[in-house]
Amino acid sequence: MRKSFIAEIKEIIAQSRAIAIRSVDFQRVLMYWHIGKSIFEEEQHGKIRAEYGKNLVRNLAKELEPEYGSGFSYRQLYFCLQFYQTFPIVNALRSQLNWSQYRLLLRIGNQDKREYYLLEAVNNSWTGRELERQINSGLYERLLLSNNKKMVLSVARKEKIPEEPQEIIKDPMVLEFLGLERKAKYYERDLETAIINHLQAFLLELGNGFSFVSRQKRILLEDDEFFVDLVFYNRLLRCFVVIEIKTQKLTHQDLGQLQMYVNYYDRTEKLPKENPTIGILLCADKNNTAVKFALPENNKTILTSKYQLYLPTEKQLINEVKKDLKRYRMGRELDSGEEESND
Tell me the one-letter amino acid at 334. Answer: L
Strand-pair category, 224-234 with 239-249 = antiparallel
Tell me the one-letter amino acid at 227. Answer: F
Q: Is residue 239 one of the residues assigned to a domain?
A: yes
- Same domain membership, residue 284 and residue 341: no
7: left (phi over 0), alpha (psi -120 to 50) or beta: alpha
Number of structural domains in the chain: 4
- Same domain membership, residue 212 and residue 293: yes
Q: Is residue 294 one of the residues assigned to a domain?
A: yes
Q: What is the pLDDT of residue 10?
A: 76
Distance in angstroms (rounded) separating the CA atoms of residues 200 and 206: 10
Write the burial class of residue 138 (CB in 10 Å: 0-12 exposed, 13-18 middle, 19+ buried).
Answer: buried
The CATH number given to whatever domain includes residue 307 is 3.40.1350.10
- Same domain membership, residue 280 and residue 318: no
Percentage of the chain modeled with pLDDT above 90:
33
Q: Half-sphere exposure of residue 101, counting CA atoms within 13 Å on the CB side?
A: 26
Cα separation values, 49 from 35, 44, 53, 81, 249, Å? 19, 9, 6, 14, 58
Q: Is residue 244 one of the residues assigned to a domain?
A: yes
- Same domain membership, residue 242 and residue 175: yes
- Same domain membership, residue 319 and residue 306: no
Q: What is the pLDDT of residue 294?
A: 81
- Same domain membership, residue 235 and residue 142: no
Q: Is residue 165 one of the residues assigned to a domain?
A: no
Q: What is the pLDDT of residue 182?
A: 60
The answer to whether 208 and 162 have CB atoms below 8 angstroms apart is yes
Distance in angstroms (rounded) separating the CA atoms of residues 104 and 102: 5
Cα separation values, 255 from 56, 72, 173, 234, Å? 63, 57, 18, 21
- Same domain membership, residue 293 and residue 187: yes
Q: What is the pLDDT of residue 52?
A: 62
All residue ranges of the chain with pLDDT < 50 are 328, 334-335, 338-343
Q: Is residue 323 one of the residues assigned to a domain?
A: yes
Q: 253: domain range?
A: 170-312
- Same domain membership, residue 326 and residue 223: no
Residues pairing with 212 in the sheet:
232
- Same domain membership, residue 287 and residue 199: yes
Q: Where among 52, 75, 97 does a domain terminate?
A: 97
The answer to whether 64 and 77 have CB atoms below 8 angstroms apart is yes
Per DSSP (E only), the strands in 85-197 are 173-174
- Same domain membership, residue 84 and residue 116: no
Helix axes 74-86, 3-45, angle to 10 degrees: 90
- Same domain membership, residue 232 and residue 330: no
Q: Is residue 147 one of the residues assigned to a domain?
A: yes
Q: What pTM was computed for the model?
A: 0.71
Q: Is residue 213 one of the residues assigned to a domain?
A: yes
Distance in angstroms (rounded) separating the CA atoms of residues 176 and 309: 4
Count, in order, helices (H) and strands (E) of the chain. 13, 6
Q: Is residue 103 one of the residues assigned to a domain?
A: no
CA-angle at 192, arms to 190 and 198, nearest 5°: 105
- Same domain membership, residue 297 and residue 274: yes
